[in-house]
Amino acid sequence: MAKVYPYHTNSPEYEPKHREVYHDKDTCPDGKRIKPEHRVSGDGGKKHCLECYKVD
């Protein structure tokens, strides 16, 4: 597990629960599902992903 720069998505391609959080772990299964072209740098003022949080 490695911490990465926070990213999130606003793409309607993903369910709302995935658009409401940001990710910062390279092993997060939910974060891995976000295609690179749909990633937005930063936390976007969103809450931390619970899957990323579990890895802490």
State pLDDT tens for residues 11-51: 999 999 999 999 999 999 999 999 999 999 999 999 999 99
The rounded distance, in Å, linking the Cα atoms of 36 and 41 is 11
Q: Are strands 21-25 and 47-48 parallel, antiparallel or unpaired?
A: parallel
What is the pTM for the complete model shown? 0.89
How deeply is 49 buried, as exposed, middle or buried, from its count of CB atoms within 10 A (0-12, 13-18, 19+)?
A: buried
Number of Cβ within a 10 Å radius of residue 34: 20
| β-sheet bridge partners, residue 41 | 7
Q: Domain spans of the chain?
A: 3-55
pLDDT at 55 over 90: no
1 vs 12, which has greater pLDDT? 12
> Which ranges in the chain belong to alpha helices (H)?
16-19, 29-32, 50-55
